[in-house]
Amino acid sequence: MENRTKSYAYILFILFFSLSTVISINAIDTDHSKKVVIRNIETEISGYTRRKNLLEEINIHEGIEFENYVEMITFLDEAIQDLINMRVFDKTEYELTLESSTKEMDIYSMKLSINDMWSIYPIPFPLYTSNTGLILGVRFFYFNIGGTLTDFTLFADINIRQNPDGEGYLIPNWHITPAISGINILGQDFSLEYNQEYKTVKKKSGDVLEKEYSYHFSSLSLASKLYLPLDFYYTMEPSITLNYSGVETQFDENGVQFALYGIEDYKLADITWNHSLGYNNIDWIGNFRHGVDLHLSNALILGSNFTQSEIIDFSSEIEVGGKFFWRINKYFNFSSQIKGIVGINREMANLGENLRGIRNINMFGYLAAFLNIDLTICIVDWDGVGEILLRPFFDLGIVDKENSVFAIDDDFAYSTGADIILYIDKLNSIQGRVTMGIDLGNPDWSDSEKYELDLALSLSY
């Protein structure tokens, strides 16, 4: 009996010691009030992304300290989500290992693992949009140039349309736009863009084409984005634009057109300062977005046509808006956008581009407001291949013209339709999109202008 009692005591001692050890270890693991430091960072990169650029992108380095464990985890989770939002990596994850611990500090090592996706997309295409007709062009994307996380894009296209009289063809628009983004200078990102374009702008009220004008312009812009605390940001983009070789076509009451060289509706040279203050916490979760973006932006424009007594004049555009994305589950995503724009001493053309189903030229003015509502539905999810999404939408907008009485037929528009979107796994940087919109304010179902078709390689907003 005595031996059995000793055996029980021995077993209880072992259990008590083991339990005490587990509790002690757990107390060490969950003591998140101490400072922490990441002393070593190992990177496992499948692809060509450079370690230096990767760590700079998420602002992390060996020896980085945090006030506590929770702060470190929060920082790393946000950094990984930022990499996911770049849409150039197939895999982004990290692993922490506790190397040692003192009374004052826990010392960790981290392993950061990423897989690069294919990032060069030369895409020649013939496309059609009801706004411009047949387009022949090329979209060349080179994301993550040489592993530097800098992106290069080249957009070029030419618009070919048949003459209104049915004889021959004309080219109302063409452009070529090279751009580089993500240029890191002293820890700050910059984007550089050049645009060379020939453009035809039309102003239409109801069924009457009032005016159209064509001109060449060249522009160069340099943009930067400053990230502020709590997901706020400030962007700035100075640019210079030269407009030249313009021809304006006006129409008399009988529809007879006549050409004027020298256009009153634009300046020969513009110097513009675009800037905005915003809040953005939108994240990509798979091929859906989730979060909110709010912004207040302003363009300050100094222009001149060098012919009038007032050589320099001032105009401005102010825009306030917001985007909302709600990932309901893996199959449904609700989103909406609201936007208001004011032109000061500046009429804004082609405002119909904010509404799917409404021809761009059908809306212009000095004041405008728009609402877009979408429900995105995943209809095909083929693991390892891609996804097909269906996105029905409803859009509405209103404009106000100067010296004009509000007319609901001309100044208010609403539309519906759907986008079909294609994502291919491993190619998340781009998407294919087909949009079919219907102008609900146009009662004539046989009118071709009741419909708008758009084939694109981009997000709708």
pTM higher than 0.75 = no
Q: Which two tokens stand for residue 431?
A: 């998407």
Inter-residue contact 97 to 108 (CB < 8 Å): yes
Could you please state the CATH topology (level 3) that the domain comprising 120-456 is classified under. Answer: Porin (2.40.160)
How far lies 239's CA from each of 16, 152, 224, 349, in Å? 73, 19, 12, 20
Q: What is the pLDDT of residue 429?
A: 72
According to CATH, where is 3.10.20.310 located in the chain?
31-116
According to CATH, where is 2.40.160.50 located in the chain?
120-456
Mean pLDDT score of the chain: 83
Judge whether residue 310 has pLDDT over 70: no
Compute the distance between CA of residue 377 and CA of residue 390 in angstroms, rounded to an integer. Answer: 5
Buried b (16+ CB within 10 A) or exposed e, 148-187: bbbbbbebbbebbeeeeeeeeeeebbbbeeebbbbeeeee
3-state secondary structure (DSSP) of residue 101: strand
Inter-residue contact 321 to 338 (CB < 8 Å): yes
Compute the distance between CA of residue 126 and CA of residue 121 in angstroms, rounded to an integer. Answer: 16
What mean pLDDT do residues 124-128 have? Answer: 75
Enter the CATH code of domain 31-116.
3.10.20.310
The tens digit of pLDDT for each residue in 219-272 reads 999 999 998 989 999 999 999 998 876 666 655 555 555 544 445 555 678 899
What mean pLDDT do residues 185-193 have? Answer: 86
Q: What is the pLDDT of residue 6?
A: 47
- Cα–Cα nearest to 197, from 175, 164, 214: 175
Judge whether residue 41 has pLDDT over 50: yes
In terms of Cβ atoms closer than 10 Å to its own Cβ (0-12, 13-18, 19+), residue 409 is: exposed
Q: What is the pLDDT of residue 65?
A: 93
Min mean pLDDT across 4-8, 145-149, 268-272 is at 4-8
Judge whether residue 74 has pLDDT over 80: yes
